[in-house]
Amino acid sequence: MRFGESLFRARRKKGLSQEDVAEKPGVSRQTISKWETDETLPDIRRTKRLAVLYGLSPDELAEFDADVQELQNVIEKPMRRCPTK
């Protein structure tokens, strides 16, 4: 799940409007919209405030649906070395 979608779902689950949420971290409704559409991202302090507002931990709020096999491939991929002079 995208981070913006996670923000959107958490807000809707609490029954809050974008305007309601915007008041808490002191941003505009348009900023909340941009965060929810992944156009921009909130900084870590605002992410923490949103998590508290939504009754979630920051980790729960930022949870992504990562493809385990893709991550495993990245881990196992040999690192390229810089050419020596």
Domain ranges of the chain: 3-76
**pLDDT value at position 30?**
97
Q: Is 79 left (phi over 0), alpha (psi -120 to 50) or beta?
A: beta
Q: What is the pLDDT of residue 26?
A: 87
For 2-34, what is each residue's pLDDT tens digit?
889 999 999 999 999 999 999 988 899 999 999
Q: Which pairs count as long-range contacts for 47-50, CB under 8 Å and 24+ apart, including other chains?
A: 49/24, 49/25, 50/7, 50/10, 50/21, 50/24, 50/25
* Residue pair 22/32 in contact by the 8 Å Cβ criterion: yes
Which pTM was predicted?
A: 0.71
Which two three-digit tokens encode residue 34?
A: 């941009």
Does position 82 have pLDDT exceeding 80, yes or no? no
Architecture of domain 3-76: Orthogonal Bundle (1.10)
Distance CA 71, CA 46 (A): 28
Question: Tens of pLDDT along 28-57?
Answer: 999 999 999 999 999 999 999 999 999 999
